[in-house]
Structure 1
Amino acid sequence: MQQKTHSFPPDLSRLARGEWLGALRKIGQQNGFAEPLGKSHAGIFVEQGDTLLVTFESMPGIEALSETRTPLGFDMVAAHGWSSLSILSHGDTWFRDPRVYGFFDQLLDDGFFDDFEKVIFFGAGPCGYAAAAYSVAAPGARVLVLQPQATLDPRVTEWDDRFYEQRRRDFTSRYGFAPDMLDAAQHAYVLYDPRETLDAMHSALFERRNVTRLRMPFMGGALQSDLLTLDLMPSLLKAVSEDRLGTYEFAQMMRARRDHPPYLRKLLARLDSDERDGLAQLLCQNVVARMHAPRFRRRLAELESLNDGI
């Protein structure tokens, strides 16, 4: 494999959109390839190691989530010497485009994925749908997806009212129903918050012999952002690559939530909603003993005053 990555990831955060796209294209051309896939998509390949991470990401998502404004795969190039294939979209397209179909057909025909010892597909939300759907092009791949949609075909998921306008897209032809496309995967992991009803309903459609569904209660509907904040994405992807992301290992990683204010706030809100004042008081006591948390300190004072008045 090539060793042309220099210092990865490069910092592209200060570039205007046009310059940024040009810089990404140049990185691909220098280290592997860069291929436009119609007006809405592109592929950027960086060749480095024998493990390939295939990520599906939207350009607005990269701008919002990456400090260096680079695809997630670039971080794994730096951390573990992996190769990276980033499939990018200009927005939430679910990657339903004949040019994208043809791109993966060509990779399959060329034996592109056969050059790697391990192949991992990753995506979140609409990109999670795509990661699961296109993983069929690399039989034996591992797959990690966060709160993915199974399909937006209203005949199957008419209960999902979040994406009405996207229902006009074709989800019934090639690479269509994402859970079925996982049949060729070595193993897939679906992460979701069971309290996010629609995400949980989609996750149930992924139930398969080679799929492990991992619950993240009280983490909400922005799992990728939270996992990046907790610095857990590299560990999760490494565990997937080594076939060791079991329930116990995942639970150990998720202990990091105990220091994550958004998670703690959601947990407190649920306890208050259920009027479980005793547990809410214990939670507040635990949090204020470990970190600066004015909201929890105020709530603890309220709960203690209620107890004093009994």
Structure 2
Amino acid sequence: MTAPSQSSALYDASGAVDRVSWLARMEEICEDSGYFDPLGPGHWAFFADEGTTLLVTFEQIDTIRSLPGQMPMGTTLAQEHGWSHLCLIADGDTWYRDPRVFRYFDRLVDDAFFEDFDRVVFYGAGMGGYAASAFSVCAPGASVIAIAPRATLDPAVAGWDKRHLAQRRLDFTSRFGYAPDMIEGTGQMFLLFDPRQTEDAMHAALFTKPFVAKLRTPFLGDRIEASLTNLGILGEMIRLAGEGRLRPADFHRMWRARRNFGPYLKAIAAETARSGHPQRELSVCRSVTRRLSAPKFRRRQQELEDQLGVLSEGDL
């Protein structure tokens, strides 16, 4: 296994100045241990062979290139723990509905690729969450962590979801198409979603297998991945899954950190303000200012106390 200091230097594409140089750098990175293969014009497979636990992620090239090291998010996580990493990289909103991607996973199964690892974890968010769920069928016993996964974009099944109209033309009726069926055989799936996002909640409801743990993250909207990353929750969940120790109770314990997370608190405050219930909004502000130094919440608390004609807590 590569030593940590060497590994950090190896998995770095920050010097790439355009897509051509980035692709060349990714090939160079994989020369000694792994591979970087195109799967047609819209996808690539990046594999770093580092350990007996495998993290499989589904990411988009533009997002990867926006990160400081221009490496997949999963590479950073895998590197921290000495794991191997397989990343399916998409160029745009492909939803991985490409026969060349299907054939790639067929080859992995035929080669017993996943059987070489002690544990396998599939991860993705949104489009990547769909793919992580759909292709997990290739690795029986794997754990799946999926953020706001779509079950399908087939309008005959999910016609109520109007968010991806252009991608409805893709074929979701053939192989690996309906994600809730493809998770059969996984060890456990952890499905994170915001129940206040109607479409995401409806997709989540289609995952009905008993081994699916539905973990609610209200008020995070479409920023669940970024928020859980900032809170340190996502990386810890993936680590525990890679060690075979992740349980729903672990998430609920870590989720308590939201009580000190600015974007979450601001979302709750905005919702209570929109609801037209100043007393409820005041309760939120007081809850925050009791625990945190939050000048904006304190100012709003004072405004509401004046509006409602109630004493501030300091005067009680």
Return the TM-score normalized by structure 2.
Answer: 0.91
> Taking every aligned residue pair, what percent have the same amino acid on both sides?
43
Structure 1, unpaired ranges of 5+: none
The answer to whether the 8 A contact 2:119-2:244 is kept is no
The answer to whether the 8 A contact 1:207-1:213 is kept is no
Q: Matched residues in 2 for 1:19 and 1:256: separation?
A: 40
Which of 25, 28, 31 is equivalent to 1:29? 31
Q: 1:285 to 1:67 in 2, by over 3 A?
A: farther
The answer to whether the 8 A contact 2:269-2:281 is kept is yes
Q: Matched residues in 2 for 1:93 and 1:293: separation?
A: 42
The answer to whether the 8 A contact 2:145-2:190 is kept is yes
Q: Matched residues in 2 for 1:76 and 1:120: separation?
A: 12
Q: Matched residues in 2 for 1:12 and 1:286: separation?
A: 44
- 1:103-182 aligned at under 5 Å gives the runs 103-182=104-183
The answer to whether the 8 A contact 2:196-2:221 is kept is yes
Question: One-letter code of the match for 1:180?
Answer: D
Q: Matched residues in 1 for 2:136 and 2:161: separation?
A: 24
Aligned equivalent of 2:7: 7
The answer on 1:41 being equivalent to 2:23 is no
Aligned equivalent of 2:80: 79
1:243 CA displacement:
4.1
The answer to whether the 8 A contact 1:4-1:48 is kept is no
Aligned equivalent of 1:52: 54
1:290 CA displacement:
4.4
Q: Matched residues in 2 for 1:41 and 1:19: separation?
A: 17
Question: One-letter code of the match for 1:33?
Answer: Y
Worse-matched range after superposition: 42-51 or 17-26: 17-26
1:73 CA displacement:
2.0
Q: Matched residues in 2 for 1:61 and 1:178: separation?
A: 23
The answer to whether the 8 A contact 1:120-1:144 is kept is yes
1:292 CA displacement:
4.7
Q: 1:256 to 1:126 in 2, by over 3 A?
A: same
The answer on 1:207 being equivalent to 2:208 is yes
1:178 CA displacement:
0.6
1:14 CA displacement:
4.7
Worse-matched range after superposition: 247-256 or 136-145: 247-256
Question: One-letter code of the match for 2:131?
Answer: A
Aligned equivalent of 1:247: 248
Q: Matched residues in 2 for 1:295 and 1:110: separation?
A: 58
- 1:261-300 aligned at under 5 Å gives the runs 261-300=262-301
Question: One-letter code of the match for 1:123?
Answer: G
Q: Matched residues in 2 for 1:177 and 1:211: separation?
A: 15
Question: One-letter code of the match for 1:7?
Answer: S
Count of equivalent residues: 308
Question: One-letter code of the match for 2:116?
Answer: D
Aligned equivalent of 2:314: none
1:184 CA displacement:
1.5
Question: One-letter code of the match for 2:237?
Answer: L
Moved over 6 A (4+): none
1:235 CA displacement:
0.3
Q: Matched residues in 2 for 1:217 and 1:7: separation?
A: 37
Q: 1:281 to 1:31 in 2, by over 3 A?
A: same
Q: Deviations over 1:14-61 (max 9, x none)?
A: 522322222122212222111110001001111111110000001122
1:4 CA displacement:
6.8
Aligned equivalent of 1:218: 219
Structure 2, unpaired ranges of 5+: 312-316
Task: Give secondary structure in 2 for the equivalent of 1:122.
Answer: strand
Q: Matched residues in 2 for 1:207 and 1:8: separation?
A: 40
